[in-house]
Amino acid sequence: MPCNNPDRQAGFSLIEVLVSMTMMAMVAAVVLSAMRSGLAMWDKGGNHIEALRHSRLVVDVLNDQIRGALPLTYTLRATDRVAMPLAFEGDRTSLRFVSRTSFKDGPDGIPRWIQIRWIADPAAPAGALSVEERRILPPDNTPDSTIYWQGTVLHGESCAFDFLLAQPNKPVVWLQEWRYPANPTLPKAVRLNCALKQKNTTKLVIPLDYAASSADGLTLR
């Protein structure tokens, strides 16, 4: 006998409900996957931009630190003699000097001993640029044994320093080492060449603000 009940004819069967739920779950999975991919790409782009901003800020601080290297002399005491070299020395992988610019305190602060070192990773073709800041101890102006601030500021494949020697009536030359007593004054400039992890190359030629004063024999004690 045919069923004439309109309420029963307007309903959904169990199979129809299951099919609809399955299709909705598939659509939701596709949408969530697309959202995850979009967010991952957004995060990757944001991290890249943040890394570039960080490296640019670090390079600016390094530039200001080195540019402002002070012609400060310090005292080295031995049993038979006393020497007063200038507080500046370096080689291909390290640089030590005194500056008023600090990663911790910012520019125009109290002068600090600054040591910048490239530390290579023997297990990989990479390394890091490390900076140490130490207080100046009177009366000899020597660096404190306690580190005031320390940090790894850049990661990359390599980083190297060169030093510009400029003498009257002689051609300028880039040296790979700058040490007392062979080099008793500040160099004219420092060249920094770093290959970073972001596949960027940072090349800086940093003229020293007090190089001329140092060449004229003007020093701080």
- At 50, the pLDDT band (50, 70, 90 cuts) reads very low
CA distances 63 to 67, 104, 216, Å, are: 6, 15, 24
Average pLDDT over residues 5-32: 69
Token pair listed for 3: 């069923």
Q: Which pLDDT tens digit goes with each residue over 51-79?
A: 445 568 888 899 999 999 999 999 988 87
CA distance 130 to 127: 10
Q: What is the reported pLDDT for 49?
A: 39
30 DSSP 8-state letter? H
CA distances 46 to 18, 27, 49, 50, Å, are: 42, 28, 5, 6
Per-domain residue ranges of the chain: 58-215
Q: Which pLDDT tens digit goes with each residue over 200-215?
A: 788 899 999 999 999 9
Q: Which pLDDT tens digit goes with each residue over 93-145?
A: 999 999 999 999 999 899 999 999 999 887 767 899 999 999 999 999 999 99
